[in-house]
Amino acid sequence: MDALSPATRTHCPYCALQCGMELHADAAGTSPLRAAGWDAFQVNRGALCQKGATSTELLNPALRLTAPLLRRTPGAELEPATWDEALDVAAARLTSIAADHGRAAVGVFGGGGLTHEKAYSLGKFARVVLRTPNIDYNGRFCMSAAAAASQRAFGVDRGLPFPLADVAQTDVILLVGSNLADTMPPALRYFTTQRENGGRLIVVDPRRTRTADQADLHLQPVPGTDAALAAGLLHVLIAEHLIDDDFIAARTSGFEEARAEAQRWWPERVEAVCGVPAGDVRAAARMFAGSRGSTGMVLTARGTEQQADGADAVNAWINVALAAGKAGRPYCGYGAITGQGNGQGGREHGQKADQLPGYRKITDPAAREHVAEVWGISPDALPGPGRPAVELLASCGADIRALLVAGSNPVVSAPDAEFVTSRLRELDFLMVSDVVLSETAALADVVFPVTQWAEETGTVTNLEGRVLLRRQAVAPPDGVRSDLDVMGGLAERLGWPGFLTAPAKVFTELALASAGGVADYSGLSHERLDATSEGVGLHWPCPTPDHPGTPRMFLDTFGTPDGLARFVPVACEPAVEEPSVDFPYRLTTGRVLAQYQSGAQTRRVPALNAAEPGPFVQLHPDLAAALAVAEGDPVRVTSRRGTAVAAARISDVIRPDTVFMPFHWAGPGRANVLTRRTTDPVSGMPAFKTAAVRVEAAQ
């Protein structure tokens, strides 16, 4: 527990901004360390949000797991066990389930917060040791729609294809479905500077958030109607000759089909479908087009992506950027604001059902051959694609008989969460690795207590595709091991001795496996990142040890086979759960500043709990009046899946036809009992952001 050095420079355990922080020894505190900003790190320049500033609290052994837990007989309580006993039981159960039901009956569910070393190893563990195709992860819930859309349009998916600092230099930003003032507070400074530089900001969000408050123009659509709204902007660009013909001719393909769809979305029709005044649709298109040659960016986050048409909606926004000629040159382009600490890297190296390391397709014979060689197996022994997250969780207790979860808490965070919980209960064997006893871990047969960020070395890729080294700052408490050791211990017992557990060695193998892939890390190593990450890090692709990395992509050519960006022709009819007499309102969900995700970590931090103590339903004063609900009263929200009860938070920032709930809590206010399992057919992204609901006073 002694701090290894008085100030270790590393990165925050939480979101994709990956703020640089210094960890100082703190002899007086309940935690061995205290976090402070790391001024020289370019992305956040010393600023930390409240979550980052309090992140060391969870290093306190009293708040977390320090021994493996085992349910010795079905229905019994979880009890402490030795590592050997817990690993022996887990290996024996996995072996017998694979023997009885086939190897594919064992599933693995990973997380976008895991370091590269863990995410890569999990993918290898599933395919090489367990030999199951069924591995997927919570990143499917996070950015999969934007990833699919970027691949369709640009042939490559890298969150932001430019450094975040470029945002401050662009003339106009169209920020869609992001509340970054709460979800990445230190990033807000770039948007503020942009406006101080004379730039314009357009925000699209059904709520007037703290982010929307900054905007020159706020469009407040009905949730789930983004594709139609984007088509409306494209319609106006075309009708008013605001498109960039030269750019379209020289750098893109497919414009005619996109134009044909946009013809159907004149502003008055958009107003009828989206609830955005036709005048605002026109104003937004004009503001975005700017003057000839001016710069602009389209940035999306979960509001527009977590929809049943998430990938199409993102492509509809990308089409707006392309038509206005705002891509493929400096301070222009489309970017998705990734979410989790390693949300970007976590999907590049093989924990996604359809991917192998280096962002390779698992169905591509050349990719299989390359990765199989690195792994020392025959390509024929590599399983094919597995099921995407929602499907994987739904098949638990059916043909999936055992599940290993690492880095996710789906009992709280998965769509239709009570259904998912019931599926997890039906498993023959559930194993969870976690730092704390999350709601999901509490259901498990075996729980492994693992090390967390400051207690281990590892790498992550932030929202800009910048690969960063997180340095160990403190020894872990007794009884805790790394996820890599858990995999190594299981692998050994399952007949695969020598599974790599040293992070630097794992990274070296990952770099080899990624060589020649889209996300090429082969020029990177822990040593190089250690030497260069003083404020910088390196952006992938980085294919050789002397390659400087790639901060900006697409300036000369896009990543498609013909080098052109594609207008993807998408149908723009909303794909929402339509309200009915019984379910007349719309629910949308999201985040608050002081809690993170399923809350497993942040609900245990006293200062964060004091700031955001519990679930709530945000509703408009008109709706509150109609329901005779006062501030703080319990409100019952019912969807076709279930019912949640939480305190009313009355505010005119939200549309009167829509209510908003954060999803950070378990118990009666668990928002995800209301959400749908419906997924976007292109990406597998669940429609977290729209459900039809009934809203009532609960007294």
Ligand X SMILES: Nc1nc2c(c(=O)[nH]1)N[C@H]1C(S)=C(S)[C@@H](COP(=O)(O)OP(=O)(O)OC[C@H]3O[C@@H](n4cnc5c(=O)[nH]c(N)nc54)[C@H](O)[C@@H]3O)O[C@H]1N2
Name the site residues for ligand SF4 (rule: CB under 6 A). Answer: 12, 14-15, 17-19, 44, 48-49, 51-52, 184-186
- DSSP, collapsed to helix, strand or coil, labels residue 227 as helix
Smallest gap from residue 185 Cβ to ligand SF4 (A): 6
Nearer to ligand X, 415 or 541 (CB): 415
The pattern of x and - marking residues 246 through 285 that bind ligand X according to CB under 6 A reads ----------------------------------------
Nearer to ligand SF4, 194 or 338 (CB): 338
Binding partner of residue 589 among ligand SF4, Mo ion, ligand X, none, CB cut-off 5 to 8 Å per kind:
ligand X
CA distances from 125 to 142, 379, 633 (A): 23, 15, 49
Residue 621: cis peptide before it, omega within 30 degrees of 0: no
| 616 near ligand X (CB under 6 A) | no
Smallest gap from residue 497 Cβ to ligand SF4 (A): 37
| 684 near Mo ion (CB under 5 A) | no
Smallest gap from residue 2 Cβ to ligand X (A): 22
Nearer to ligand SF4, 12 or 167 (CB): 12
Closest C-alpha among 252, 329, 342 to residue 296: 329
Structure tokens at 438: 């999350």
Smallest gap from residue 344 Cβ to Mo ion (A): 11
| 601 near ligand X (CB under 6 A) | yes
Residues belonging to the chain: 699
Among 121, 588, 638, 683, binds ligand X (CB under 6 A): 588
Closest C-alpha among 380, 409, 379 to residue 393: 409
Binding partner of residue 608 among Mo ion, ligand SF4, ligand X, none, CB cut-off 5 to 8 Å per kind:
none
| 476 near ligand X (CB under 6 A) | no
| 303 near ligand X (CB under 6 A) | yes
Residues 317-376 that bind ligand X (CB under 6 A): 339-340
Q: Per DSSP, which regions of 337-428 are E strands?
A: 355-356, 360-361, 402-406
Residues 6+ apart with CB under 8 A from 538: 466, 467, 523, 524, 528, 529, 532, 548, 549
Among 233, 327, 362, 435, binds ligand X (CB under 6 A): 435
Nearer to Mo ion, 460 or 542 (CB): 460
Binding partner of residue 438 among Mo ion, ligand X, ligand SF4, none, CB cut-off 5 to 8 Å per kind:
ligand X
Task: Give me the sign of the Cα torsion angle 480, 403, 462, 17.
Answer: negative
Nearer to Mo ion, 14 or 265 (CB): 14
| 672 near ligand X (CB under 6 A) | yes
| 56 near ligand X (CB under 6 A) | no
| 18 near ligand X (CB under 6 A) | no
| 462 near ligand X (CB under 6 A) | no
AA identity, residue 56: T
Binding partner of residue 209 among Mo ion, ligand X, ligand SF4, none, CB cut-off 5 to 8 Å per kind:
ligand X
Taking residue 298's Cβ as centre, other Cβ atoms within 10 Å add up to: 29
Stretch that binds ligand X, among 284-292, 510-518, 584-592, 633-641 (CB under 6 A): 584-592
CA distances from 177 to 165, 225, 298, 403, 590 (A): 20, 11, 11, 33, 10
Distance from C-alpha of 655 to C-alpha of 323, rounded to nearest angstrom: 30
Closest C-alpha among 443, 449, 408 to residue 80: 449
Smallest gap from residue 298 Cβ to ligand X (A): 12
| 224 near ligand X (CB under 6 A) | yes
Binding partner of residue 52 among Mo ion, ligand X, ligand SF4, none, CB cut-off 5 to 8 Å per kind:
ligand SF4
Stretch (H or E) spanning 193: helix 188-196
| 138 near ligand X (CB under 6 A) | yes
| 459 near ligand X (CB under 6 A) | no
Nearer to Mo ion, 453 or 663 (CB): 663
How big is the CA angle at 224 (ends 333 and 248), to the nearest 5 degrees?
30
Contact 368, 362 (CB under 8 A): yes
Return the exposure string of 103-137: e unless at least 16 CB atoms fall within 10 Å of the residue's CB, then b.
Answer: bbbbbbbbbbbbbbbbbbbbbbbbbbbbbbbbbbb
| 477 near ligand X (CB under 6 A) | no
Smallest gap from residue 452 Cβ to ligand SF4 (A): 14
| 679 near ligand X (CB under 6 A) | no
Distance from C-alpha of 393 to C-alpha of 387, rounded to nearest angstrom: 9
# binding residues, ligand X (CB under 6 A): 65
Distance from C-alpha of 440 to C-alpha of 424, rounded to nearest angstrom: 9
| 339 near Mo ion (CB under 5 A) | yes
Stretch that binds Mo ion, among 60-68, 125-133, 137-145, 470-478 (CB under 5 A): 137-145
Contact 555, 329 (CB under 8 A): yes
Stretch (H or E) spanning 195: helix 188-196
Distance from C-alpha of 324 to C-alpha of 286, rounded to nearest angstrom: 10
How big is the CA angle at 630 (ends 625 and 635), to the nearest 5 degrees?
90
Distance from C-alpha of 401 to C-alpha of 95, rounded to nearest angstrom: 12
Q: Name the percent of the chain in helix, strand, coil, to the closest 5.
A: 35, 20, 45
- DSSP, collapsed to helix, strand or coil, labels residue 35 as strand
Among 220, 304, 459, 638, binds ligand X (CB under 6 A): 304
The pattern of x and - marking residues 390 through 409 that bind ligand X according to CB under 6 A reads ----------------xxxx
- Contacts to ligand X by CB under 6 A: 15, 111-114, 138, 141-142, 176-180, 182-184, 204-207, 209, 221, 223-224, 226, 301-304, 306, 339-340, 406-410, 412-413, 433-436, 438, 450, 452, 483, 588-591, 593, 595-598, 600-601, 660, 663, 671-672, 675, 688-689
- Contacts to Mo ion by CB under 5 A: 142, 339
